[in-house]
Amino acid sequence: MARNPRYDILFEPVKIGPVTAPNRFYAVPHAAGMTNSMPRMRAAFRETKAEGGWGVVCSGYVSIDPSSDDAPLPFATLWDDDDIRSHALMTDAVHKHGALAGVELWHGGGSVMNRTSRIPPLSPSGTSWMATHVNFMGNQRPRIMDAQDIRSLVRWQAAAARKARSAGFDVVYVYAGMGYLPYEFLLPEWNQRTDAYGGSVRNRVRIVRELLEATHEAVGGHCAVALRISLEELRARPSDVAASEAHEVVELLADLPDLWDVKLDSSPTDCAPSRFTAEGSHEPIIEFVKKVTSKPVVGVGRFTSPDAMVGQIRRGVLDLIGAARPSIADPFLPKKIDAGREHDIRECIGCNICISSWHDGVPVRCTQNPTIGEEWRRQWHPERVAPAGSASTVLIVGGGPSGLECALTLARRGYEVTLAEAADEIGGRLRFETRLPGLAAWGRVLDWRRGQLERLPNFNLYRGNELSAEEILELGNTHVVIATGSRWARMLYSPLEVPFGSLAGPNVYTPDDIAEGAQLEGPVAVFDFDNYYMGSALAEHLAKAGHSVAYVTPTGHASAWAIMSNEQPQVHRALANAGVSLHTLSRVSAFEPGELTLAAQFTDRESRLACRSLVIVGARFPNDSLYHQLVEQQDKLAGAGIASITRIGDALAPGAIVHAVYSGHRYARELDADPQAPSFRRDAPLRVTPTA
């Protein structure tokens, strides 16, 4: 197919200082959990984006000095010759496909604890980030930077820029965003200095100017110098000489960088989940930058629509379309647009599971793209699969996320695949969950797979078909895959922090009951110890339906785990806006319609709430009775020609949608594989420098 001419503008080259990007697709710096300890995995991960058509492919954040240590979060380093060799694997891989390679040089300042290096952190005035969540808490406070420290910071940046050039990078960053050290100089909350680096905006921006000048000198005109800067807070602050302090900063630096990479200030706003924020949400903050500078501007906004991308360029908002999450969900997004295959784009759903990977300290994961992070380790490619290893036929029972992903990958390999879904529509849990507040975009998991499967002649779908074990034995398939999902339990939560016991009786519900149309009597209490999205989304859903709703959790926050996916601040705002009352550090100990008894999690002190209906969002268990019925008939399986019975997804082990999709994909990739082959390769750091 030919490219749609209205998207031609996306494929124009863009000059960035001394280098030229081959198109306007720019994979911006983002953490991916693959540090110098996993150099081959990192190189293959970034290479796949270059192969997929991204004109610029950037690293994650890269420390310029041991005084910037983000452990245990997975950060990269550019401190020595071993690091140069490690990063060169990535630049060589990216260059192989004609793309530019960028590196985000980084100093964390007072936002890091230097837990491994044990060097006291640095900040402009000795203040630090004192987060409200234990994930980012620490006891080490920074020291106030003196004049020598400032000179050292500039020297470290220049030395790292020279190393970046040696490693083969084409675009070298100064990073003044997201609470890190150069950004700390820009805000008076961090910067209370009275010398030439504090006070006025002109003084506060001085260190950024010096870092840019030092970087230019260090790369000697061979690399472009980019400034990545957060503008959200500055845009909200008035200035005596400009429309805002953000305008003033950009005007003061206007044409000093070769590229402006503009973003917001905190991860929950900069990488906002789709549950609360639409595509292109950065525009109101960053739209002015191109009016001030003559240099190209890149920005993000979870862009998946090529029309939205073109709109950003034609309206003069951006020159380059930046992406982190969309480039993870579909590394081949640019090539698909180029080939007139926009309908094949695997669109990001904005669930932010990728961001939770960084918080977990592991290689990146994606709900939509199960191959991400596995490009080198398992040799998985997002667009290519090995041909079928036999003429086997496969029956998949269950059309939820895991069953659909399994069916699609098996059919792409060439197997004859039949999917039987008991309900009248496929989608499994997505049929209900996408109707909850803010979760409509998650329907892309279903929509993309359905669209791909409908075009495959070796895929057969039977809806409204609840198969029994006896019927499966009669169908004559070689392999049977059970993808029948899971169900929520009416279990309570013990002081040992383990689901325990059960609460049966009238007016006790689970999310399954709500999905099946149960009519609740208010007031309603939602007891959530699942700690992800379901409890808070249900509470908001029920409140919008007109109920008086209380949200109860044994943790200290609503949707406590959602701090990992950047959702938690917005969850609290959404519950407050919906009028949901919040009861933290509490567990349900008893319920009679009319009154709910709570026990304080740490003291057991009791309290009571008016409540007519209780919804428990806690433990889940597999719907695997069909699997057990089949495996208990081993004598009949061989006679029926069935070689294997396998569970995948929630039917094996309940989890998030990302786990279900990965489980289905892995089964499909490994069918008929050599059972003796190792399941994945282990990466290791490059080391040539002798150690004592």
Catalytically active residues are 180
Residues 6 or more apart whose Cβ sits within 8 Å of residue 298: 26, 28, 259, 260, 261, 262, 318, 319, 320, 321, 322
Q: What is the enclosing helix (H) or strand (E) of 21?
A: strand 19-21
Mark residue 103 as left, alpha or beta (left: phi above 0; alpha: psi -120 to 50; beta: remaining): beta
Of 667, 678, 658, the closest CA to residue 362 belongs to 658
The Cα 300–Cα 261 span in angstroms is 9
The Cα 23–Cα 54 span in angstroms is 8
Q: Tokens in use for 648? A: 């995948």
DSSP β-ladder status, 100-106 and 25-27: unpaired
SS3 sequence, 488-542?
A: ECCCEECCCCCEECCCCCCCEECHHHHHCCCCCCCCEEEEECCCCHHHHHHHHHH
Q: What is the enclosing helix (H) or strand (E) of 297?
A: strand 297-299
Question: By the 8 A CB rule, do 174 and 210 touch?
Answer: no
Number of H helices, E strands in the chain: 25, 30
Peptide bond into 523 cis (omega under 30): yes
End-to-end CA distance of the chain: 59
Per-residue burial over 664-685, b if 16 or more Cβ lie within 10 Å, else e, is bbbbbbebeeeeeeeeeeebee
Mark residue 164 as left, alpha or beta (left: phi above 0; alpha: psi -120 to 50; beta: remaining): alpha
The Cα 390–Cα 422 span in angstroms is 28
Q: What is the DSSP letter of 129?
A: -
Question: By the 8 A CB rule, do 264 and 285 touch?
Answer: yes
The Cα 296–Cα 322 span in angstroms is 12
The Cα 375–Cα 383 span in angstroms is 11
Q: Tokens in use for 159? A: 């030395």
Distance of CA 686 to the CA centre of its chain: 27
Of 381, 438, 435, the closest CA to residue 413 belongs to 381
Distance of CA 640 to the CA centre of its chain: 44
The Cα 651–Cα 406 span in angstroms is 13
How many Cβ atoms sit within 10 Å of the Cβ of residue 389? Answer: 14
Residues 6 or more apart whose Cβ sits within 8 Å of residue 60: 29, 30, 31, 32, 34, 75, 76, 104
Q: What is the enclosing helix (H) or strand (E) of 453?
A: helix 444-453
List Cα–Cα distances, 87 to 151, 168, 357, in angstroms.
Answer: 26, 8, 21
Q: Tokens in use for 441? A: 């975009």
The total number of residues written for the chain in this structure: 692
